Each structure stands twice: as C-alpha cells, then as structure tokens.
Amino acid sequence: MSMIDVKDLHVHYGGIHALKGVSFSVNKGEIVSMVGANGAGKTTTLRAISGILQYKGTVSFDGETLGGTAPHRIVRRGIAHSPEGRGVFPNLTVMENLEMGAFIRSDRAEIQKDFEHCFELFPRLKERVRQLAGTLSGGEQQMLAMSRALMSRPKLLMLDEPSLGLAPLIVAQIFEIVKKVNAEGMTILLVEQNARMALEISHRAYVVETGKITLSGSGRELLSDARVIDSYLGGP
C-alpha cells in the first residue's frame, strides 16, 4: 500500500484552475519527484497536501484521508513540508529554527539526538547555531529548512525546490543529503525544476505540465525519454 495516495486533485485559486485532476502516489521508502516548468502546479500540489490550499479530490495518507485538515494538524499526522523559498525564520537563531521544527514533540532526549543528527548531515549548521537564520547564505538556509523539516520526525518529507537559486556545487551537496536521508529510511516527495538532478536520485517521477501529470515512470526511464530530454533536460 502506498504511503500517500493523491487522487484527482483540483485546486482553484483566484479564478485560476491551477490543478486539473492530479493523481499520484508515493510508496514507503521511495524518493518520488515531480518535475516540470515554473507555474506547472508542483508547489500548488504540495501546498494542497499540507492543508494551506483548499482542494477537491482525495489525499489519503497512511490509509486516512486528509481533506480539510488544518496545516498545523497535518504535521502531527507525519508530513513535513520544507516550503518553496525555504521559509526559515530570519529573526530566530539557527537553533531556534530547529526547535520550531520539533514544535509538536516533547521527547527532549530524542529531540537532542535529532539536533545532533542534523549537525552530522550539515556540519555548517553546527558552526552557526547561535546565528540568526536571516544572516545565513542561501545554501545554508536550504540546509536549515531541510533540517527543520526533519526535526518533526516525519513519515513523509516534502521538499519544494531545494535547488532554487543555489550554486551547482551546493545543489550537488543538498541532493547527496537527500539521497542519504532516504537511505536512512525517509520517504521523500521532491518537487524540482532542476529535472536532471531530481530524476537522477528518484525512484519514480512525474512530469507536471499546466496542472496535469503528463508523464510518469522511473527516474531512469524519464531521463532517457525523448520528450523529457527535449523539454526539460535541454537537448541530448
């Protein structure tokens, strides 16, 4: 059984039909990515799952439907969402941002362990624990956003454009960590414009175009699909 099952998802906002019946699923232990151009509806999909946007259609997570659940309750169900643009709290320190990631938890000793785990994944964060998050570089903010999402100990981690605006070297580092976190057992739903990077690390992927899923397959299949190469990978 899949961990999350999305069926016929429709989102309207401000008179725009942003999602026109999107269906997909993510199985436990997978990295699944949604690739597509800017404005295709990838971010909208994640925001709908998180309860930020209202939608029609069904989202089942762990066998229960999520429709109409407020965002702060979705996290408690086990879905963490690292939003587009990272959404770190600039006026809070790095440590405080991580504490907010663990807001729903009260198991202090385990939280402490997870802080350590984040610092193992991203040693640069450890050097900057007392620094305000707003003073971090873009790459560091992305690392913080991912770590913060992990701090809720989710079953499903949703990452929205982790590569956005970052230097290629940093992007490669971030994707390494995504793979590593997945290898530790985390199920990941990844939304990316950087199709090549995303497809290379994904078990399965969906191509989203103007509010619809137009292609799906394993990461490797899509990497060699002529349509994907033409539209998203910039030629042969």
Contacting positions for another protein (CB under 8 A)? 50, 52, 70-73, 75-76, 80-81, 83, 87-92, 96, 99-101, 103-104, 134, 136-138, 141, 148, 152, 165
CB 38, min distance to another protein, A: 15
Q: How far is the CB of 151 from another protein (least distance, A)?
A: 9
Closest CB to another protein among residues 84, 225:
84
If we measure between CA atoms, which residue out of 78, 203, 198 comes closest to residue 149? 78
Q: Name the percent of the chain in helix, strand, coil, to the closest 5.
A: 40, 25, 35
Nearest one of 221, 142, 153, 149 to 176, comparing CA atoms: 142
Which one, 89 or 119, has the nearer CB to another protein?
89
Q: Is 112 exposed, middle or buried (0-12, 13-18, 19+ CB in 10 A)?
A: exposed
* Residue among 34 and 75 whose Cβ is closer to another protein: 75
Q: CB–CB of 199/225 below 8 Å? A: no
CB of 99 or CB of 221, closer to another protein: 99
Closer by beta carbon to another protein, 11 or else 213 = 11
According to DSSP H, which parts of 51-165 are helical?
71-77, 94-101, 108-121, 123-127, 138-150
Quote the least distance from Cβ 74 to another protein, whole Å.
Answer: 8
Spell out a b/e string for 160-169, using b for 16 or more CB atoms within 10 Å of the CB, else e: bbbbeebeee
CB of 94 to another protein, least distance (A): 13
CB of 45 to another protein, least distance (A): 15
